[in-house]
Structure 1
Amino acid sequence: MARESLLPASGRRVFVALGDSFTEGVGDRDERLPNGVRGWADRVAEKLAKAQPGWRYANLAIRSKRLRHVVAEQLEPALRMRPTLVTLYAGGNDILDLKTDMVTLMADYEQLVAQLAGTGATVVLFTGFDVKVSALLEPLKKRNTFYNNRVRAIAEKYNAVLVDYWCLDAFHDRRMWDSDRLHMSKAGHKYLAGQVLDQLGVPHKIRPKDWEPPAPLSLREWELRQRRWVHDWVLPLFGRKLRGVTLGDALTPRWPGPVKVPRKGGLKKLLREKAGAGQEI
């Protein structure tokens, strides 16, 4: 049975996405789009426009951002846009910093949600997924559980829509993840877009991949994958931490907008139209 739509039947329609790499779209590569990625939020924006013409969309999320960066850099621009729909995922990078005080983090998170909910917009929140990256990260599971329990409680308190990412069994398939094992693949972003749309009661035709069960890896294949992962992702990550830099330092928001999303052709059509007119995003 289709869920009743939570979106306004008429009036202003402005969707603003806030957060980090999860919302920016990292893992869903598309060099034709800003920052070279697409992601679930772009897909949601396009389906919103298809269901209800007139939607405008901004995506202020940038990879590697901590919660404090989202508050300092994204909150005020978002409020100025007078959104009617806001999505927020933030805090995942803070969890990976062992010096983070989780109680303080979630108090700051709640304050951010309270300000967003105070606008009257529909607010969508996400729990985090238990990504099986490495046994070395298993001690973080307790922190993830604390984060998720607080997000669920905050969502209920502020009448926010909750996408309980932790409970989405489809993400136990490694093909839903990019080669860094921390970010969703194109299939993962597409599936998550469908989950968000379902929670909002927006019709769509996104369907999960009909995959055969993944083939088991031989010991040699597993070792090769481990070495490649360490070489391509782990060592560069530690190198950046030692230098005090992040992948998002030189980036700007993909859609600082809000831009009007074409009902047909989506955001790629918008880019083509602006390029033809010699306009910037």
Structure 2
Amino acid sequence: MTPQHPWTRYVALGDSFTEGIGDPEPGSPGGNRGWADRVAETLALGTENFSYANLAIRGRLLQQIVDEQVEPALELKPDLVSLSAGGNDIIRPNTDPDEVAARLELAVERLRRDGAAIVLFTGPDIGMTPVMKRIRGKVAIFNENVRAVAHRHDAVVVDMWALSELRDPRMWDADRLHFSPVGHQTIAMAVLDALGVPHELEPFTAEPLPVRPWRTARADDIVWAREYFVPWVVRRIRHRSSGDGITAKRPGFDA
């Protein structure tokens, strides 16, 4: 089979989004599959000696990703790197999206040191989420910065803000913070399309959603806040992370 792309050494960096949370798969390292695994599986087709590492760990802030993942990634001498970072910073109160993006750019500069192709991500439009919609403008500012960083460093941008499919609630896990399996599949397709790599991943065919009474929707919001949002806030107050004690699921090319 003729290779459809020039890359043989792919490293994925980031947080829960890249780790694949929301897409459980017992047979995958770490118990989750995710969009990055799907992308790697497609890139491996017809590519001799293809290697893939995933250093992402849930809950990581941008500086933690920079401090813990960038140098290990460079040591693997990748020719393709995906970096999704800053989302956990942006959703926290009092963070400056311009400052977060400036630190993201420093990471991109380091990762470009040996000429690897870089893939970056804008944040999705979270306007349909009752709590998260309050930071919609902040996410939009960060996204504009990401596009500017990508332009300056010749990086590829996967524009999740523009993916209208992600506004479908079925694209999201029950916690409304992570993507569901179909969400991860949709994002994998977007990554491959942005890279110009042909693929045979199947898109999600959405049936019309039933109309939900207002009272039902509000009751679901209350349950969500109690089961997912409040525990998240409590972890922030206690300076704990869902990634405490977790290690990278694919720390090297032989994993």
Question: Is the deviation greater in 89-98 or in 211-220?
Answer: 211-220
Q: Contact between 1:28 and 1:189, CA under 8 Å: does it hold in 2?
A: yes
CA RMSD for the aligned pairs?
Answer: 1.7
Q: After superposition, give the CA deviation of every residue in 1:66-118 in whole Å (9 maximum; x if it has no partner).
A: 11001100011000000000000100000012232333211111111111122
RCO (CA 8 Å, sep 6+): is it higher in 1 or 2?
Answer: 1
In 2, Cα distance between equivalents of 1:103 and 1:172: 25
Cα displacement (A) at 1:54: 1.6
Describe how 1:1-281 pairs up with structure 2 within 5 A.
7-8=5-6, 13-132=8-127, 134-259=129-254, 281=255
- Which structure 1 residue ranges, 5 or more long, are not aligned? 260-280
> What is the TM-score with the length of structure 2 in the denominator?
0.94
Instruction: Provide the rounded CA distance (Å) in 2 between the counterparts of 1:210 and 1:38.
Output: 21
Tell me the TM-score normalized by structure 1. 0.85
Task: Give me the whole-angstrom Cα distance separating, in 2, the residues matched to 1:220 and 1:73.
Answer: 45
Aligned residues: 253
Identical counterparts, % of pairs: 44
Task: Detail structure 1 runs of 4+ shifted over 6 Å in the superposition.
Answer: none
Q: Which letter does structure 1 place at the counterpart of 2:222?
A: R
Comparing 206-215 with 83-92, greater Cα deviation is found at 206-215
Runs (5+) with no aligned partner, structure 2: none
**CA contact under 8 A between 1:131 and 1:182: conserved in structure 2?**
no
Q: Please state how far the C-alpha of 1:242 moved relative to its aligned partner.
A: 2.4
Aligned partner letter, 1:46 = E
Structure 2 letter corresponding to 1:40: W
CA-to-aligned-CA distance 1:10-59 (integer Å, 9 cap, x gap): xx711000011111101111122233211000011111111423210100
Change (3 A) 1:198 1:134: closer
More deviation, 220-229/200-209: 220-229
